[in-house]
């Protein structure tokens, strides 16, 4: 280091966010949207119920049809989507 070099100054520490700052609250969802979500979720539960019934019925059958197995799995997936939609409607919007 020579005399003509500027002195080395450490960079300032990073600014920490203020502890008192809170993001603005999420606006509530309208009651109509929540009702439609629950209603559509209940409609999606019906294929899941049918999939359970057909799945139990196919387990008692000696020959397992792969097409029926695929439809049972698809119905269970749709039913799960209905459960998750109802859960999201009840829980409300999150940030």
Give the residue, 66 or 81, on which the prediction is more confident.
81
Please state the pTM of the whole predicted model.
Answer: 0.67
d(CA 17, CA 33): 35
* Cβ pair 43, 75 in contact under 8 A: no
**Going by C-beta distance under 8 Å and a sequence separation of 6 or more, which residues neighbour residue 43?**
82
Q: What is the pLDDT of residues 18-40, one digit of tens each?
A: 677 777 777 777 889 899 999 99
Angle, vertex CA 54, rays to CA 49 and CA 59, nearest 5? 130
What integer is the mean pLDDT of 10-17?
Answer: 75
**Going by C-beta distance under 8 Å and a sequence separation of 6 or more, which residues neighbour residue 49?**
79
Spans of all domains in the chain: 48-95
Please, which pLDDT band fits residue 95 given cuts at 50, 70 and 90? low
Q: What is the pLDDT of residues 36-67, one digit of tens each?
A: 999 999 999 999 999 999 888 887 877 777 88
């Amino acid at each position: 280091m020579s005399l003509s070099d500027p002195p080395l100054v450490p960079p300032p520490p990073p600014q920490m966010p203020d502890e008192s700052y809170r993001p603005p609250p999420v606006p509530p969802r309208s009651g109509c949207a929540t009702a439609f979500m629950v209603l559509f979720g209940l409609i999606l539960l019906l294929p899941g119920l049918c999939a359970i019934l057909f799945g139990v019925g196919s387990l008692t059958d000696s020959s397992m049809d792969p097409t029926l197995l695929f439809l049972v799995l698809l119905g269970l997936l749709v039913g799960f989507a209905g459960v998750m939609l109802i859960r999201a409607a009840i829980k409300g919007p999150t940030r």
